[in-house]
Chains A and B, each alone.
Chain A
Amino acid sequence: MRTPMATDYSFPDNAARAAAAADEFQPEKMSLSMGPSHPSTHGVLRLQMELDGETVTKADPVVGYLHRGDEKIAENMTYNQFVPYTDRLDYLAPLANNMAYAIAVERLAGLEVPPRCQAIRVITAEMARISSHLMGLGAFGLDVGAWTVLLYTLEEREKLYKLFEELTGARFTTSYTRIGGVTRDVPEGWLGRVNAFCDQFLPILEEILRLLTRNKIFMDRTVDVGVISKTDALAYGLTGPNLRGSGVALDLRKDKPYSGYEQYEFDVPVGTTGDCYDRYLVRGEEMRQSVRILRQAIAKFPEGPWYATDARRIFAPPKDKVMTSMEELIQNFMLVTEGPQMPPGEVYFEAENPKGILGFYVVSKGGGVPYRLKIRSPSFCNLSILPKACVGILISDVVAILGSLDFVMGECDR
Chain B
Amino acid sequence: MNIAATTPRATEIQSMTRSDTPLVRFHGVRKSFGELEVLKGIDLEVASGEVVALIGRSGSGKSTALRCVNGLERINAGELTVCGRALHGGKVDLRDLRQDVGIVFQSYNLFPHLTVEQNVTLAPRKVHKIGAAEARDLAEQVLAQVGLSEKAKNYPEQLSGGQQQRVAIARSLAMRPKLILFDEVTSALDPELTGEVLRVIAKLAAEGMTMMLVTHEMAFARSVADQVVFMHQGRIWESGKGDMLDDPQTPELRQFVGNGL
To the question of whether A and B form a pair in one complex, the answer is no
Footprint of B on A, CB under 8 Å?
A: none
Footprint of A on B, CB under 8 Å?
A: none
